[in-house]
Structure 1
């Protein structure tokens, strides 16, 4: 059974259980209004991403919400508002099982798995986190492939930093498992 999120004019997603395991044609979206007092920017989606366990919505007001499937369980899906992290989120990228948030004050926060050091910390020290952790300051852009376990951070001096899985040399340092 696949979980599907349906959303539309008020931009508030509803989780719908769907069978069989694939959708072969478009389905009419349904809406649920959670808060009548929301302003227009709180209702408008700026960006949508998905990864191995979740789908993430970034709204125009900088609020980020993650719909998380419990470690891949399609039976238990919960809505999580990503906690307020000093400033509004201006960009999000997603790796295979990690999320990266860039804030208006140019800080990057990571959430999720750190198995290969993709959150910028030694994987022996930090395996994963459910709360955003500060990875780096003074960042102007973040890049990550949807199915990757690495991330690139570009600072305001146009210096590029990378961390995470590098088995094929994708971080520019030759081949090995972690860096």
Structure 2
């Protein structure tokens, strides 16, 4: 059973009907004429211009950000079983069970931006065309192959593909960024990316005007970090996850020394209005977020960064939020959460 909770700017009127423009209290959402398939949601990904719902049967439907309340959702016509969906500002990507990636958007396919194309088939090395994972940045898409190689496609205006933005503004063909990659981290409002290798070494590139990459004040650059750079002074422990907002990043670290019940801690850097550290200054290196709301008797289960805000979910089911609450400033207009009862 799925329970979908919605709050924020209501700019998808076909989804959330008879509600005000700004929904300040969480409300439950149900599909109109809900069928059995729509009761088995696997994933939801949302951005400025669209939302994609992925169901457990390998099908997905897309809602566009339009003001027409009569707009009908479109089933995404991909013949292969869909395993994951990811949405950026004006780009979308779909990973299938067969390891193919279909994507669309102006920065991916300028000739026909509304048509999904197989971007994994455009990788030059035919041995790298089976994709294991996908992540959307704001205007870029990152691919992790079964050979543990990371590729990028889309905009590179801040060096978020790891290349000099003056010589490569964007690419409609995936380009190799780094080898020996275990995880890729970015966000649908982020113009930067982190790559983690198998040795737990973290690298980053892209927009760093607010210290989002955790490189230190001397490395802060408004025009971006143009090549992949190793992130120093990472807190001790295993990196479990990194969430990237527009102006801040949050990292989840697990203390591997505590074998029986390893403690998870959150670390943040970036713009002080949104990083959860309550300091009136930009934080240029990852710094622990401390709060009595998730210490001692509870632990971090999951968390997410929006453009100007963050959400934390604890193992006890407690939801914690911080950041900017003025929805007229938000570039990500909604937050959707869902819990699946197994």
TM over 0.5: yes
Number of residue pairs the alignment of both structures matches: 166
Instruction: Provide runs of 4+ in structure 1 moved above 6 Å.
Output: 2-8, 15-18
TM-score with structure 1 setting the length: 0.77
Aligned partner of 1:152 among 176, 188, 194 = 194
Aligned partner of 1:98 among 118, 140, 145 = 140
**What do the CA deviations read for 1:44-65 (whole angstroms, capped 9, x no partner)?**
x111011122221101111110
The corresponding residue for 2:115 is: 78
Which whole-Å CA distance do the structure 1 matches of 2:117 and 2:201 have between them? Answer: 33
The answer as to whether partners of 1:87 and 1:105 remain within 8 angstroms in 2 is no
**What do the CA deviations read for 1:66-103 (whole angstroms, capped 9, x no partner)?**
132578x9x96122111323241111111110000000
Aligned partner of 1:62 among 99, 122, 133 = 99
1:1-179 maps to which residues of 2 (within 5 A)? 9=57, 11=59, 20-21=67-68, 30=75, 42-43=80-81, 45-69=82-106, 77-84=114-121, 85=123, 86-173=128-215, 174=217, 175-177=220-222, 178-179=224-225
Gaps of 5+ in 2: 1-48, 226-342
TM-score with structure 2 setting the length: 0.42
Indicate how the Cα distance of structure 1 residues 99 and 23 shifts in structure 2: closer, same or farther if over 3 A, else same.
Answer: farther
Gaps of 5+ in 1: 36-41
Indicate how the Cα distance of structure 1 residues 16 and 169 shifts in structure 2: closer, same or farther if over 3 A, else same.
Answer: closer
Which whole-Å CA distance do the structure 1 matches of 2:197 and 2:52 have between them? Answer: 34
Which whole-Å CA distance do the structure 1 matches of 2:91 and 2:155 have between them? Answer: 13
Indicate how the Cα distance of structure 1 residues 157 and 23 shifts in structure 2: closer, same or farther if over 3 A, else same.
Answer: farther
Indicate how the Cα distance of structure 1 residues 78 and 105 shifts in structure 2: closer, same or farther if over 3 A, else same.
Answer: same
Residues 4-13 or 105-114, more deviating: 4-13
Q: Which has the larger radius of gyration?
A: 2
